[in-house]
């Protein structure tokens, strides 16, 4: 029996191999189907061999130079009109990506642009504004709650010191005849309209009025002819609501021996340079008037103005007689 040949892509003729009979005759050999160059399964008898357009091509004179071509991508032999199409590969290499052209579908263009610069500037500005806002909130919280706690604690100590019998023996402790030392208690100031009271200390230096209203050292004492002038901070714990006062409101000053009741005669806003408001005879009043003047910063949260409240003495009574009616509510 003559050998049968298949024409392969490399131009060689190879003997068509048969296959073993699987019907139990391991030694039996029978030819495989036409075009079969590899072992096939039993149900592959009906599969065709090489395509006719390849099988009908004339065989080349010699094998293709393996150094110049390989596999299904070889240059077609002489006489062939074209090379067979490349066999599909399930895991073929991916096409190369040009350098610099890769970009994730989730990525954004990070190159410089006017829009990117504007967005970055707005983002930085917004973060700075948020930071400044937080700082201002912290400052406001300290002014409202932090300083209030400090002043309240200090006022408690001053109250106890003012009410002790030993304080009555010190110069100025009995009322209107002498002045206490700097930082010492002068009197207790009551403002029923604000439902507040404070111990007033001697002096208006920053350290003196840090936790209490201060008495101008050169001004009159309570009940004396002249001007009992007081300064205090515009904070929640002190004169925050002083602008709520109106003409006729009582201002009560308590010393060791006497109650002095004043009534608001005038309120006004002036420049910080208007120091005449604490003179012995302020503008609008007459010599011999017994006055009280309260000064503080204006507006709230700033100090480029001064809020002034003037009061005139209307009466007095001994401290031993009890609280004046203006404090009984």
> Do the domain assignments include residue 92?
no
Going by pLDDT thresholds of 50, 70 and 90, the confidence category of residue 166 is low
Q: Please give the helix or strand (H or E) that residue 311 lies within, else none.
A: strand 305-318
pLDDT at 55 exceeding the cut of 60: no
d(CA 98, CA 187): 89
- The reported pTM is 0.59
> Do the domain assignments include residue 137?
no
pLDDT at 37 exceeding the cut of 80: no
> Do the domain assignments include residue 123?
no
Q: Please give the helix or strand (H or E) that residue 55 lies within, else none.
A: helix 52-55
Write out the residue range of the structural domain in which residue 6 sits. 1-82
> Do the domain assignments include residue 214?
yes
> Do the domain assignments include residue 130?
no
Residue 319 sits in the same domain as residue 173: yes
Decide if 132 is catalytic: no
Going by pLDDT thresholds of 50, 70 and 90, the confidence category of residue 11 is low
Q: Are 226 and 280 in contact (CB under 8 A)?
A: yes
> Do the domain assignments include residue 197?
yes
Going by pLDDT thresholds of 50, 70 and 90, the confidence category of residue 213 is very high
Residue that the structure tokens 């110049």 belong to: 68
- Active-site residue, selected from the candidate residues 8, 132, 215, 233: 233
**What separation in angstroms does the CA of 277 have from each of 2, 60, 131, 192, 210?**
137, 124, 41, 23, 22
Contacts of 267 (CB under 8 A, 6+ apart): 243, 245, 246, 247, 307, 308, 309, 310
pLDDT at 294 exceeding the cut of 60: yes
Q: Please give the helix or strand (H or E) that residue 127 lies within, else none.
A: helix 114-141
Neighbours of 268 (CB within 10 A): 13
For residue 298, list its beta bridge partners: 305
Decide if 297 is catalytic: yes
d(CA 223, CA 212): 21
pLDDT at 35 exceeding the cut of 60: no
d(CA 279, CA 276): 5
Q: Comparing 68-72, 220-224, 315-319, which segment has the lowest mean pLDDT?
A: 68-72
Output the DSSP codes for 224-292.
SSEEEEEE---STTTTTTGGG--TT-EEEEE-SSEEEEEEEEEEEEE-TT-GGGGSSS-TT--TT-EEE
Residue 187 sits in the same domain as residue 61: no
Query: For position 58, what pLDDT does the model report?
Result: 62
| Higher-confidence position of 178 and 211 | 211
pLDDT at 317 exceeding the cut of 80: yes
> Do the domain assignments include residue 22?
yes
Residue 192 sits in the same domain as residue 308: yes
- Active-site residue, selected from the candidate residues 39, 132, 215, 297: 297
Output the DSSP codes for 190-219.
EEGGGTEEEEEEE--STTTSSSS-EE-TTS
Query: For position 185, what pLDDT does the model report?
Result: 93
How many domains does the chain contain in total? 2
Residue 150 sits in the same domain as residue 282: yes
| Higher-confidence position of 221 and 94 | 221
Residue 160 sits in the same domain as residue 234: yes
Query: For position 87, what pLDDT does the model report?
Result: 60
Q: What is the pLDDT of residues 60-99, one digit of tens each?
A: 555 555 545 444 444 555 555 555 566 656 666 666 666 6
> Do the domain assignments include residue 23?
yes
């Amino acid at each position: 029996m003559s050998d049968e040949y298949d024409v392969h892509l490399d131009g060689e003729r190879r003997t068509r191999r048969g296959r073993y009979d699987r019907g139990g005759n391991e030694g039996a050999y029978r030819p495989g189907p036409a075009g079969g160059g590899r072992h096939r399964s039993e149900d592959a008898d009906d599969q065709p061999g090489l395509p006719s357009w390849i099988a009908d091509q004339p065989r080349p004179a010699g094998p293709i130079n393996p150094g110049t071509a390989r596999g299904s991508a070889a240059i077609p032999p002489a006489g062939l009109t074209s090379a067979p199409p490349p066999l599909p590969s399930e895991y073929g290499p991916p096409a190369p990506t040009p350098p610099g052209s890769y970009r994730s579908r989730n990525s954004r263009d990070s190159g410089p642009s006017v829009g990117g610069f504007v967005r970055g500037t707005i983002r930085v500005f917004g973060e700075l504004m948020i930071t400044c806002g937080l700082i201002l909130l912290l400052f406001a919280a300290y002014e409202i709650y932090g300083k209030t706690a400090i002043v309240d604690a200090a006022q408690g100590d001053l109250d106890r010191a003012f009410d002790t019998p030993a304080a009555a023996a010190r110069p100025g402790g009995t009322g209107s005849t002498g002045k206490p030392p700097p930082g010492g208690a002068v009197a207790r100031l009551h403002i029923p309209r604000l439902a507040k009271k404070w111990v007033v200390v001697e002096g208006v230096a920053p350290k003196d009025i840090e936790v209490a209203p201060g008495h101008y050292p050169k001004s009159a004492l309570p009940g004396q002819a002249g001007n009992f002038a007081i300064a205090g901070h515009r904070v929640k714990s002190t004169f925050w609501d002083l602008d709520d006062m109106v003409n006729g409101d009582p201002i009560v000053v308590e010393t060791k021996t006497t109650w002095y009741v004043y009534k608001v005669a005038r309120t006004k806003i002036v420049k910080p340079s208007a120091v005449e408001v604490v003179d012995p005879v302020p503008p609008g009043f007459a010599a011999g008037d017994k006055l009280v003047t309260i000064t503080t910063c204006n507006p709230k949260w700033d100090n480029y103005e001064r809020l002034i409240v003037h009061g005139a003495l209307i009466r007095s009574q001994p401290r031993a007689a009890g609280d004046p009616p203006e404090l009984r509510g």
